[in-house]
């Protein structure tokens, strides 16, 4: 089922999750353990992040060696596992950065083979590696360009001529939004204009970056509505679990930690921080659901313990 169909047909609050693939050469068993923990809550869909190649430098006897590799491959396989083993809709993230349009088309065709109909179109983070574009190949500069490519495939328009007779795909396309604005945008209104471009190109829903003050989300939705965006906007949350995240989350995700939460975590014993984070997240969820948000999306990465405790606190079975 498509994400927008889940939202339209829901008779009770929906809570979805987002996972990250294991590191290259790692073990999938830890991810399987997380999946076993969260599927019991019957999420309508589970997102799986995608990662482009990055540059690493390794010191060797002959000097510093430049290595280019994907740190976390496996998005496609994990999505196939989720959808076919657990019968839960998978939402793979599809990036512009690090992939040609031809590679993107191949990836989308493989998703279509597997019956995966939901995708999240994002530009992706700057990995520090500018991939050379082979002659005759092309790239999507922006997420709106990627959305257009997906919509073209939904209309039966492919890059490869020998696919012109292929059946159109049926992707439900989601995009990202930033209640506190994307760090590269000069202001929030300009950032929302970019979201509007993605919606106008054919995207059907928005998932937000994490936030710890619901006011950012409500103001963001109001401003989106004023600027003509009518697509569902799903709030994204992440449970704060450690003191170090007071620094790493603002640094890596450009979001604000409210003074009340930061002070309570700073003054607490390390073993009490998780409970504080869960209490704060529960308060956020309750307020959001009372305001009839379409769904709540949790960034849990590869740690299911916090979300299990939260679900118990919310009495969600």
Task: Extract the runs of DSSP E, i.e. beta strands, from 211-279.
Answer: 233-237
Q: Look-up: residue for tokens 């599809």?
A: 94
Which 3 state secondary structure label does DSSP give 19? strand
DSSP assignment letter at 35: H
Following DSSP, what letter does each residue of 202-228 receive, concatenated? T--EEEEEE-S-HHHHHHHHHHHHHTT
Look at residue 26 in the predicted model and tell me its pLDDT: 74
Q: What DSSP element (H or E) covers 283?
A: helix 273-290
* Domain span holding position 272: 3-314
51-102 pLDDT per residue, tens: 664 555 455 555 565 554 555 678 999 999 999 999 999 999 999 988 899 9
pTM for the structure as a whole: 0.91
- In DSSP terms, which residues pair with 101 in a beta bridge? none
CA distance linking residue 311 with residue 276, whole number of Å:
15
Q: How many domains does the chain have?
A: 1
The Cα 234–Cα 60 span in angstroms is 47
Q: Which residues pair with 210 in a beta bridge?
A: 236
Question: What pLDDT does 198 receive?
Answer: 98
126 vs 184: CA distance, rounded Å: 12
Question: What gap in Å lies between CA 234 and CA 112, rounded to an integer?
Answer: 24
The residues, any chain, with a CB within 8 Å of residue 205's CB and separated by 6 or more, are 3, 4, 7, 172, 174, 175, 231, 232, 233, 234, 294
CATH number of the domain within which 103 lies: 3.20.20.220
Taking the chain (317 residues) in consecutive chunks of 10 residues, what is each chunk's mean pLDDT? 96 93 81 94 95 55 54 84 95 93 94 96 73 80 96 92 77 98 95 97 98 98 97 98 96 96 97 97 96 94 93 82
């Amino acid at each position: 089922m498509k994400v927008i169909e889940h939202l339209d047909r829901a008779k009770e609050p929906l809570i979805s999750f987002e996972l990250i693939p294991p590191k290259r050469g790692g073990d999938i068993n830890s991810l399987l353990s997380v999946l076993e923990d969260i599927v019991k809550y019957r999420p309508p869909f589970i997102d799986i992040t995608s990662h482009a190649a990055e540059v690493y430098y390794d010191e060797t006897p002959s000097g510093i060696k430049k290595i280019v590799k994907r740190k976390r491959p496996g998005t496609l396989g994990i999505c196939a596992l989720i959808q076919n083993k657990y019968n839960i809709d998978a939402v793979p993230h599809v990036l512009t950065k690090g992939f040609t349009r031809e590679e993107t088309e191949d990836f989308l065709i493989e998703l279509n083979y597997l019956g995966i109909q939901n995708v999240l179109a994002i530009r992706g983070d700057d990995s520090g590696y500018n991939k050379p574009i082979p002659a005759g190949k092309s790239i999507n500069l922006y997420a709106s360009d990627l959305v257009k490519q997906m919509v073209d495939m939904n209309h039966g328009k492919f890059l490869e001529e020998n696919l012109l007779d292929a059946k159109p795909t049926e992707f439900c396309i989601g995009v990202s939004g930033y209640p506190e604005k994307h760090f590269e945008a000069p202001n929030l209104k300009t950032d929302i204009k970019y979201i509007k471009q993605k919606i106008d190109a054919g995207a059907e829903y928005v998932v937000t970056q994490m936030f710890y003050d619901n006011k950012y989300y409500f103001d963001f939705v109001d401003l989106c509505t004023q600027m003509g965006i009518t697509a569902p906007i799903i709030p994204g949350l992440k449970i704060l679990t450690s003191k170090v995240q007071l620094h790493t989350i603002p640094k890596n995700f450009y979001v604000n930690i409210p003074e009340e939460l930061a002070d309570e975590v700073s003054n607490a014993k390390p073993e009490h921080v998780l409970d504080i984070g869960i209490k704060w997240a529960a308060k956020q969820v309750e307020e959001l659901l009372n305001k009839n948000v379409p769904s709540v999306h949790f960034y849990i990465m590869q740690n299911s313990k916090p979300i299990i405790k939260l679900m118990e606190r919310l009495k969600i079975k």
